[in-house]
Amino acid sequence: MEIDKCTYESLVEKCQDNGWVMKGGYPWQDDPFLEEYPYEFSECSDLEELRSAFAHGNWAIRQGFLYDDLAFVQQVDGGDEWWTLKRAARNGDAADWIDFESWSFEPSANYRLGTQGDTFTNSIRAMQMASPDQCKRLTYSLPKGSPRWDFSKTTEIDFDHIPRTCRSFSTQMGDYTLKVYERPSSDGFVAELFDRDSKRILVSSDGASSALDAAKSLQETARLCIDNDVHDPGRLRDLQPLESRALQARLASKAIPAPEREKHQGAQAI
């Protein structure tokens, strides 16, 4: 899918900060007769389209793909060295983009090589979830062993009756559903932990500075709930801060001795 003119021009301007893809860059300095490749960018509608593009390989230098708020520009002709950028604004200039990594994707994107798809998926999800500052500081990774996160966008109406695009991430851990999402008239991200069967909200917290921070906290809380079996289907823990939920799990595991805990769990099951 073609990108809009404003996005295209801002990316081309940003590419002038990179010695490999800038006009008259390193490859052309080494070989003045090298063909002048155009800047060509296309937008991927979903993660599978992006994965297929990376797995295809053999892309020319200055070719790039956009997905959500990320951009990937090929730095080596026919190679697999993608200059990775995070969108921070929409002003139509180079400042719209934060460059933070160079990634080689073909091994993880190519399922035929035997690599699990979750590795590729969560690499991209972590970049999406992270704030521009987290990307810049290279602190954008999800914890090792994280479940596979899904992503979607919805159009919501804010308090001024203006349509807003809101982003949402979700996953499953044990008997729990984890969801991190934006609200149209609120700052930050909302984090919610559901009982998968009853759909009850057990934990709800808002105002997270990034989806990544919210996702990490939710995963820790869900893991504590699973490990300590403190879930009570009859109790709604709506609007509890994540920190309080985690503390409750720790206290519950310490307060009940192991033999008694088994009796306690058996009584709950009855």
Q: What tens digit of pLDDT does each residue of 161-197 get?
A: 899 999 999 999 999 999 999 998 888 999 999 998 9
Among residues 51, 190, 17, which one has the least CA distance to residue 122? 51
Same domain for 185 and 215? Answer: yes
Q: How many domains are contained in the chain? A: 2
pLDDT score at 261: 45
> Token pair of 231, please?
């879930």
Cα–Cα distance for residue pair 242/76, rounded to 1 Å: 44
Contact, 1 vs 28, CB < 8 A? no
Question: Amino acid letter at 263?
Answer: K
Segments forming the whole domain that contains residue 177? 150-269
Same domain for 77 and 188? Answer: no
pLDDT score at 105: 84
Same domain for 96 and 205? Answer: no
* pLDDT for residue 160 is more than 70: yes
Same domain for 119 and 11? Answer: yes
> Token pair of 97, please?
């983009």
pLDDT score at 231: 52
Q: 229 pLDDT band (50/70/90 cuts)? A: low
pLDDT score at 185: 82
User: Does residue 144 form part of some domain?
Assistant: no
Same domain for 130 and 247? Answer: no
pLDDT score at 201: 94
User: Does residue 145 form part of some domain?
Assistant: no
Among residues 44, 48, 45, which one has the least CA distance to residue 111? 48
Of 136, 159, 177, which residue sits at a domain end? 136
**Which is more confident, 234 or 99?**
99
In a 3-state reduction of DSSP, which class is residue 91?
A: coil
Q: 236 pLDDT band (50/70/90 cuts)? A: very low
pLDDT score at 183: 92
pLDDT (average), residues 195-201: 91
Same domain for 51 and 158? Answer: no
Stretch (H or E) spanning 27: helix 26-30
Of 106, 136, 166, which residue sits at a domain end? 136
Q: Is the sign of the CA dihedral 214, 216, 221, 226 positive or negative? A: positive
> Token pair of 167, please?
């982003």
pLDDT in tens, 65-79: 999 999 999 999 888
Number of C-beta neighbours around residue 194 at 10 A: 19
pLDDT score at 119: 84
**Which is more confident, 48 or 264?**
48
Among residues 266, 264, 215, 224, which one has the least CA distance to residue 248? 224
Of 110, 136, 162, which residue sits at a domain end? 136
Q: 103 pLDDT band (50/70/90 cuts)? A: very high
Contact, 117 vs 33, CB < 8 A? no
Same domain for 121 and 159? Answer: no
pLDDT score at 134: 98
Same domain for 115 and 213? Answer: no
pLDDT (average), residues 150-168: 92
Q: 124 pLDDT band (50/70/90 cuts)? A: very high
Same domain for 122 and 22? Answer: yes
Among residues 58, 65, 71, which one has the least CA distance to residue 44? 65
pLDDT score at 107: 66
Chain mean pLDDT for the chain = 85
